[in-house]
Amino acid sequence: MALREKKNLIDKVMHTITTHNLIETEDKLVLGVSGGPDSICMLDILLKIRQKNQITFDFVVAHVNHMIREEAIEDEQYVKSYCEKNKIQFYAKGIDVQKIANTSKMSTEEAGRNARYAFFNEVKEQTNANKIAIAHNKNDKIETIIMNELRGCGIAGLKGIEPQRDNYIRPMIECERKEIEEYCLENELQPRIDKTNFENIYTRNKIRNVVIPYIEKEFNPNIIKTIDRLSELVTEQEEYIQKQVKNIYQTMLIEEKDKQRIVLDLAIWNQQEKVIKSNIILYTITRLCHSTKGIEKIHIEDIIKLCNNHIGNKFLMPNKHIKVFIKNHKAIFSKED
């Protein structure tokens, strides 16, 4: 029975990899491994896939000691021992995340995430890798969707965590947490357990430990699968909309100069539905700044009004990086350094 379960999870991960082209021949990955169930399961499965020559690729392991928990040094030693046993190149770094959070006036969660990703990219450059593998699973995806909706992120927030974004891949994204825990038990991996995951002081922990179990008990025992299906439908529709947005953007594009300035034709702009206009704004800002962080619904509404009214000699700055103004029936988006 154990062998069948193990094979099923490996097959599921392999299916995710091939469906989304996450790992291709001759890729070199940096695996972010904390030592917890998700990341050690990802490491073990990718090792088995490589050993079976299902895909020809290489990887190294990167581990961050957040210096918050007393057990953190044991977590690092656990991952290091696994890597030494299996002859895997191992990189580790201690980062005082709490100090960074206090100094930068950000949450411990955000400081930790920033520190991890910065180190993973550092190792990527050092080892000439081309992708970074993160062990997010299906439960993480659903928790993110719920958090997004609580924040009012709208339809796009229902997509949750994607299998790949830029150089980051998530081979475990279609695996549920209980499957991962069973795999670890059956394969005697004995992962490290972060006790802070059970402390309901963070929003994600409250959703994981309180909200989802309550919904499963009182309303829908399959809520993870239900929200995941909704996410798939939204993703399909979002991909179609983005395809249309890119096509329309090209028709209204007058000038795109060195990723510093984009000029759009307002005559074509005025022919579009509001949903297209909103997405054109987000797409344009992303092309200039590689992100729409800090751009909220009210900013989009203001830019639409500005463009619809053809108001000259006025401008908007939805954040400190972008300036939008109208001139000669053109909408001009400029990057402010």
What are 109-166's pLDDT values in tens digits?
A: 889 999 999 999 999 999 999 999 999 999 999 999 999 988 877 788 899 999 999 9
Whether residue 311 has pLDDT greater than 70: no
The sign of the torsion formed by the CA atoms of 70, 76, 81, 82 equals positive
Residues 127, 60: contact at Cβ < 8 Å? yes
Q: Examine the domain organization and report whether 261 and 205 are in the same domain.
A: no
**Res. 334 pLDDT band, cuts 50 70 90:** very high
Average pLDDT of 235-248?
A: 94
Work out the average pLDDT over 190-199: 87
221: burial class by Cβ within 10 Å (0-12, 13-18, 19+)?
Answer: exposed
Structure confidence by residue, pLDDT tens digits, 58-82: 999 999 998 888 889 999 999 999 9
Q: What is the CATH number of the domain that holds 187?
A: 3.40.50.620
| Within-domain flag for 234 | no
Q: Are residues 58 and 152 in the same domain?
A: yes
Residue 152 is which amino acid? G
Average of per-residue pLDDT across 46-60: 94
In a domain, 250, yes or no: yes
- Residue 209 DSSP one-character state: I
User: Does the pLDDT at position 313 exceed 80?
Assistant: no
Distance CA 55, CA 58 (A): 9
Strand-strand pairing, 261-265 and 90-94:
unpaired
Flag whether pLDDT at 312 surpasses 70. Answer: no
Residue 186 is predicted with a pLDDT of 96
β-pairing, 131-133 vs 168-169, is parallel
Q: Is 51 helix (H, G, I), strand (E, B) or coil?
A: helix
Per-residue pLDDT at 252 exceeds 50: yes
Is residue 208 predicted with pLDDT exceeding 80?
yes
Residue 236 lies in a domain: no
In the predicted structure, residue 1 carries a pLDDT above the cut 60: no
Q: Residue 207 has what pLDDT? A: 95
For residues 182 and 284, state if they share a domain: no
Same domain, 208 and 249: no
pLDDT, position 200:
86
- Number of structural domains the chain divides into: 2
User: Mean of the per-residue pLDDT values for the chain?
Assistant: 92
Distance CA 326, CA 249 (A): 17
Indicate whether 129 and 253 sit together in one domain.
Answer: no
DSSP string for residues in 280-316:
HHHHHHHHHHS--TT--HHHHHHHHHHHHHT--S-EE
Q: Which residues contact 61 (CB under 8 A, 6 or more apart)?
A: 30, 31, 33, 43, 79, 83, 88, 89, 90, 91
Q: How confident is the model at residue 292 (pLDDT cuts 50, 70, 90)?
A: confident
What is residue 294's predicted lDDT score, i.e. its pLDDT? Answer: 80
Window from 20-29, 221-230, 256-265, 304-313 with minimum mean pLDDT:
304-313
Cα–Cα nearest to 284, from 234, 327, 318, 237: 318
Per-position b or e across 303-333, b if 16+ CB within 10 A of its CB: bbebbeeeeeeeeeebbebbbbbbeeebbbb
Residue 87 lies in a domain: yes
Find the CATH number of the domain harbouring 323: 3.30.465.60
Burial of 116 (0-12, 13-18, 19+ CB in 10 A): buried
Residue 226 lies in a domain: no
Report which of 43, 301, 36 is spatially closest to residue 171, judged by C-alpha positions.
43
Query: Which residue spans within 37-155 are E strands per DSSP?
Result: 58-65, 90-94, 131-133
| Confidence check: pLDDT of 4 > 60 | no
pLDDT of residue 5: 42
The predicted pLDDT at position 301 comes to 92
Residues 98 and 201 occupy one common structural domain: yes
Claim to verify: residue 45 and residue 125 sit in the same structural domain: yes
My answer on whether 216 and 245 are in the same domain is: no
What is the structure's pLDDT at 40?
98
Residue with more model confidence, 161 or 104: 161
Residue in the block written with tokens 């000439």? 128
Q: What 3-state DSSP class applies to 156?
A: helix
Range of the structural domain that residue 302 is part of: 241-335
Q: 236 burial class (0-12, 13-18, 19+ CB within 10 angstroms)?
A: exposed
